[in-house]
Amino acid sequence: MLIETGAEEPGQNGAIMIAVTSAAGAVPLGAPTSAPSPLPSPFSTSPPQYSGPYVAIPLPTLAPNTTYTVSDNYTGWANNPPQCTATITQFSGSFTTSQ
């Protein structure tokens, strides 16, 4: 499972959408749920500087010895009239599963 935080839960209108991919393609993610308490430790990155609810995003069983990339896709300002917004992809990190 991935733990994500932000102003809005992933998957809602205008909210951040999480994507997990590997060389084989996109990984199907489960619907966001409440994050476990206490949160898993240690954090893989520093806790965010903004507040918002933590949500858990379920992952299917992942392939062994595979590198996965995690990114946030969100609607942001594009300043390209008549389209003033665009989907922006921001790299969040990567991880490799063990054998």
Which is it for the CA torsion 43, 45, 46, 47, positive or negative? negative
**Is the pLDDT at 30 greater than 50, yes or no?**
yes
Q: Which two tokens stand for residue 77?
A: 């300002």
Domain ranges in the chain? 2-96
> Which pLDDT band, with edges at 50, 70 and 90, does 13 fall under?
very low
Q: Which two tokens stand for residue 19?
A: 């994507």
Question: Coil, strand or helix: which one is 28?
Answer: coil
Bridge partners, 64 (sequence order): none
State mean pLDDT over 59-69: 95
Are 52 and 8 in contact by the 8 Å Cβ rule? The answer is yes
Are 34 and 55 in contact by the 8 Å Cβ rule? The answer is yes
Backbone phi, psi, residue 6, to 5°: 170, -175
Q: pTM to 2 decimals?
A: 0.72
